[in-house]
Every structure is written in structure tokens, then in C-alpha cells.
Amino acid sequence: MIELENVGYNYGGGELLDAVSVQLAPGSFHFLTGPSGAGKTTLLKLCYGALTPTSGRVRAFNMDVHGLDRDQMAYLRRRVGVVHQDCRFLDHLPVIENIALPLLVSGRELNHEEANLRELLNWVGLSERAHALPPELSGGERQRAALARSVILSPDVIIADEPTGNVDWEMSQRLLQLLVELNRMGKTILVATHDLSLIRAAKKQVQARVLRISNRQLQLAGADL
Amino acid sequence: MTDSKLHKLILGDKQANRVVPPTGFTAQLTLFVAGAMGFLAVFALALSMASGRLADRWASELARAATLRINAPAEQRVAQTEAALEILRQTPGVATARALTGEEQAALLAPWFGSSLPAGSLPLPQLIEVTADDPGYDPSGLRLRLQAEVPGAVLDDHTRWREPLVDAARSLRRLAWVSILLIGGATAAMITLAANAALAANAQVIEVLRLVGALDSYIAQAFIRRFTLRALTGAAAGVVLGMIGVWLMPEASDEGGFLTGLGFQGWGWLVPLLIPPLGALVAFAATTRAATKRLGELS
């Protein structure tokens, strides 16, 4: 699905990532962990094309991400659902329209998707809050709304950046449950988190692999978690 | 642009319009400036059309008439007049040539000397009214021939009077056209600035739209449509007010001179109606350019 080959990245102030190689196979579940500032978000951005590597190659769906023009990049974003750390909503539109935004911008007929949308809202437990504005939502509700938005186009890959960053344990369990269900439906999942107990909880339910960034390198973490 | 795209651009996609938050104040400023420009454009257009009519009228009315003046001693005057008339009759391009009668000449002098002037006793030159055909005669050729055969004849084809007037009217028309172009350019510049401001103010919205997979054309369309419609509405209001202003101006009259002729005539009233669509076109082009440039700079 997504393949990083000897990827390096530097912000101009020095190397952040160096010689990172990883393959996200279809249907796999990966956690990405590491200390703050180690480059978790950067690595995720490299995966969905928001950043271009300074060295090496990123391939997504067998296309070299570097060679994509702006329109092709937009089509790529429709195949990769992303849950951002800070969610990124349009604050003047109600939750339901924010969740439907990917449908809208890809020119789908919203009337035909009405039932799907309701079902999705129900699945993330936001039916009651459908017409609230994003700033009125709690942290957990925002994360669930972001997750719903990332899967509305039924992408093959879902990338989540600290989806449980500012929610309580119960809520993070619920979010994890949603991600696990998506993985069981065959989606490829990549979750960046520094929450080790979340990873442990996940390992009980799915075959999850843990990638750790340390010293600018990506390592496959052992079973000691 | 395909039909469906054009259709979407004009009628709009209600949902798509909502993705960019409404901006009350900037929208009103854009409307106001488009209105002011539309209003000014109407006057520039009225000026250009009126001065164009004036130039044409002066050029054609004065060009067709000429005067031949025969300054000769009293005893030779009749003979020279006859000779001159004969030459004029033979000249191709002269429609009519007629010697003015004594009474007509006296009437021409009456404003200066009063009607009691004994015209017959004064050594007045004989005037011959010459009307040109279409195409006209060659004035320099005629002058040469008259010089040889009627030494006392002076041909005045009004060129001296006509040219400065026609030139003035033509430069007035040129100025009016330059004004219209400047108004168009200023509108484009203003819309570009407003569109850039709107794009900058909505950088976050654009970023979110890109993240969820929106094409640049989709994002640009939301802005283009807004500014095009604002320019169209504003200019339409300005043009209506401008046309009322022109309509309220006094009718053309001899007493008022050329100033009162400033306005539209007949079909001319339809020409200002082109201003709003042209303004919208300018806004469309300016916003498209601004949006394409701006979006290209984003990651």
C-alpha cells in the first residue's frame, strides 16, 4: 500500500529521519511510537504526501509520490484517510457537514450518501451532536468526528496521528475499538501514539506491529511492550 | 470549460459555496467598488459616444459645404462669377454651385451691420455656395484651375475651421476610451487584491479542503464564483444609477451647445448594458489568476 524506501528528511536544521524503510502491507495494523519530537508526525506526513522526503523514495499505491502533480495528490488524499492531531475542521460548518466534506469535494451526490452518513455518525456515537459546530465538541467527540471524516470515502489506508492524545482512557478505548473494527474490515491502519497502554490493549485484539523512531531511525519494537 | 461546469459556475453549487465562510465586510467593499466603477464607466461611455457623434457631424456637415469668394472690381465681377460657375459645373465631384443673390448676401451681413445696409452700393465680393458630391472634388486641383482662369476667386472649403474641432472631438473620444480601459484595469486590480485577501484569510479552510482531497479547481471555483457575482451585481447597480444620471441630463439643444448632447441615442442606450457582463468577465479572469497563483504556492 505505502512503501518508504531509504527515506531521509531534514527540516534544514539537521536530519530528523535517516534511511527509514518500511512497508505497510494491505490489511496490516501498525503503531508508530517514539519520544515527542522524534518525527512521528513527519513520518506520517511523508506517508500521505504532505511532505516530500529530502532523500529516498515514497511509494503509495505503486506510484512515486514525488512525481505526482497537485491534482494527482488530491486523488491520493481521497484514498488515504487521515486523522490529524488537531483534527482540522471547518469551524463554520456543523459536524455532519464536516464529516461529509470529503464526499462534497470529490463531487459525490450527497443525497445518495445520506444513509451511509447517518450510519457512520451512529457508529462513532455522534448522532446526537450532528448539528453542533466543531468548537462546541469535546476532545473525544472531535477525534471521533475526525475518524468518521477520514473513513467516509472508504479509503484503503487510515493514518491517525495521536488520535487519543487528549481524551480519557475510556474514550481512547472506544477510538481504538473503532480502528480495530476498521482493520477487521480489511483497512490498513497506521497509528502514531506515545500511549503504550493503548498499544498493549490493541495487541490483545489484533496482530499489531510496533514501529519505534529512535535516533533518526525506525526500528521494529520487540515483544516487550 | 464544459457545459456542466459553466452551469455550476453560474448557478452555483449550494453546498460547495458553504465551504468557504461568508465574509460580510469585504463582500460589501467589492460590491461598492464594482458599483462605482460601473457608474463611472457609464459616463465615460456616454462621453465617448457623444464626442464620436460630434466629430462625425462636424466632419460631414462642414466637409460638404464650401464657399467661393470672388474679389474683383465691380465691372469684372459678373464675368468672373460666370467663369467660376462654369468651371465648377465642369469639376467632377461638385454637386451644386450657386451664386448667392444680393438679398442673401445682405442677410448674411445683417447681424453685423443691420438690415438697412445699402448692399448694392458697396463693393462686396460675390459669394458662390458650393456643395460637394460624394465622393467630393479635389480642392487643391480646383484652386489651381481657378487661379489660372478666375484670378479674384478664393476657395474656402472650411478645412481651417473643421480640423481643430474634429480633432478636439476625436481626442475627447480617445480620452473617454482610455478612461474606460483604466476603469477596467482598476477593477481587475481591485478584484485581484480582494481575492488575494480572501484567499489569505481563508488559508486554513483551503488547507483543510486540500487535506480531504479537494482539487485546486474546486477550491478556486468557490472564490471565483463569489467575486464574479459580486462584480456583476455591483456593476449592474452602478450602471443603472449611471444611466438614470445620463437620462436626467437635459436634451441636446442648439442653445446648450455640445455639452447637452452628452448621452445615449437610440440603440446607444443598450451599450452600457454590456458593462456588467464585462465587469464580471474581468473579475472572473482576475480571481482565476489570483487563485491559481495562490493555490500553486501552497503545499
pLDDT of residue B120: 66
> CB-based contact (8 Å) between B213 and chain A?
yes
Nearest alpha-carbon partner for A54 in A64, A66, A62 = A66
pLDDT of residue B190: 92
> Which residue is it, cell 508526525?
A41
Length of chain A: 225
Question: Taking a C-beta distance cutoff of 8 angstroms, is the pair A102, B17 a contact?
Answer: no
pLDDT at residue B277 greater than cutoff 70:
yes
Distance between CA atoms of A110 and B159, rounded to whole angstroms?
A: 74
Distance between CA atoms of B207 and B205, rounded to whole angstroms?
A: 5
Distance between CA atoms of A102 and A45, rounded to whole angstroms?
A: 19
How do A208-214 and A29-33 pair as beta strands?
Answer: parallel
**Mean per-residue pLDDT, B100-115:** 79
CB contact under 8 A, A106 and B295: no
> CB-based contact (8 Å) between B24 and chain A?
no
> CB-based contact (8 Å) between B210 and chain A?
yes
Could you tell me which residues are beta bridge partners of residue B156? B67
Question: Taking a C-beta distance cutoff of 8 angstroms, is the pair A64, A58 a contact?
Answer: yes
CB contact under 8 A, A101 and B208: yes
Residues from A contacting B (CB-CB < 8 Å) are 50-51, 70-71, 74-78, 82, 84, 88-90, 92-93, 97, 101-102, 104-107, 110, 149, 153
Nearest alpha-carbon partner for A20 in A28, A9, A34 = A9
The residue with greater pLDDT, B276 or A174, is: B276
Question: Taking a C-beta distance cutoff of 8 angstroms, is the pair B241, B257 a contact?
Answer: no
pLDDT of residue A29: 92
ipTM above 0.90, yes or no: no
What letter does residue A129 receive in the DSSP assignment?
G
C-alpha distances in Å from residue B206, one per residue of B187, B215, B219: 25, 10, 7
CB contact under 8 A, B209 and A101: yes
> Model confidence at B278, in pLDDT bands (50, 70, 90)?
very high
pLDDT of residue B9: 55
- What chain A residue is nearest to B209 in terms of C-alpha separation? A105
Pick B215's closest partner by Cβ from A71, A88, A153: A71
Across the A:B interface, residue pairs with CB atoms under 8 Å apart total 59
Position A167: which residue type?
A: V
**Mean per-residue pLDDT, B141-162:** 82
Cβ neighbours of residue B7 closer than 8 Å, sequence gap 6 or more: none
pLDDT at residue B40 greater than cutoff 90:
yes
* 3-state SS assignment for residue A38: coil
| Cell of residue B105, nine digits | 448676401
Ranges of residues in chain A with a pLDDT under 50 are 224
pLDDT of residue A16: 84
Task: Choose, out of A101, A112, A131, the residue to mutate when testing the contact with B (most B CBs < 10 Å).
Answer: A101
**pLDDT per residue as tens digits for the range B58-74:** 777 666 778 888 888 87
Cβ neighbours of residue B148 closer than 8 Å, sequence gap 6 or more: none
Mean pLDDT of chain B: 83
> Model confidence at B11, in pLDDT bands (50, 70, 90)?
low
Q: Which helix (H) or strand (E) holds A115?
A: helix A110-123
Give the CA radius of gyration of chain A. Answer: 17
Which residues of chain A does B296 touch, with a Cβ-Cβ cutoff of 8 Å? 70
Distance between CA atoms of A101 and A93, rounded to whole angstroms?
A: 10
* 3-state SS assignment for residue A212: strand
SS3 per-residue string spanning chain B: CCHHHHHHHHHCCHHHHHCCCCCHHHHHHHHHHHHHHHHHHHHHHHHHHHHHHHHHHHHHHHHHEEEEEECCCHHHHHHHHHHHHHHHHHCCCEEEEEECCHHHHHHHHHHHHCCCCCHHHCCCCEEEEEEECCCCCCHHHHHHHHHHHCCCEEEECCHHHHHHHHHHHHHHHHHHHHHHHHHHHHHHHHHHHHHHHHHHHCHHHHHHHHHCCCCHHHHHHHHHHHHHHHHHHHHHHHHHHHHHHHHCCCCCECCCEHHHHCCCCHHHHHHHHHHHHHHHHHHHHHHHHHHHHHHHHCC
pLDDT at residue B57 greater than cutoff 60:
yes
pLDDT at residue B256 greater than cutoff 70:
no
How do A188-192 and A157-161 pair as beta strands?
Answer: parallel
CB contact under 8 A, B214 and A70: no
**pLDDT per residue as tens digits for the range B162-212:** 778 888 888 988 999 999 999 999 999 999 999 888 888 888 899 899 888
- A216 dihedral zone (left: phi>0; alpha: psi -120 to 50; beta): left
CB contact under 8 A, B209 and A97: no
Pick A104's closest partner by Cβ from B16, B210, B299: B16
> Model confidence at B14, in pLDDT bands (50, 70, 90)?
low
What letter does residue A154 receive in the DSSP assignment?
-
Cβ neighbours of residue B210 closer than 8 Å, sequence gap 6 or more: A74, A77, B219, B298
C-alpha distances in Å from residue A95, one per residue of A29, A127, A159: 28, 10, 20
Q: Residue B194, exposed/middle/buried by CB under 10 A (0-12, 13-18, 19+)?
A: buried
Question: Taking a C-beta distance cutoff of 8 angstroms, is the pair B67, B161 a contact?
Answer: no
pLDDT of residue B119: 61
Question: Taking a C-beta distance cutoff of 8 angstroms, is the pair B227, B31 a contact?
Answer: no
Distance between CA atoms of A161 and A168, rounded to whole angstroms?
A: 16
CA A174 to chain CA mean position, Å: 16
Distance between CA atoms of A25 and A45, rounded to whole angstroms?
A: 18
Give the CA radius of gyration of chain B. Answer: 32
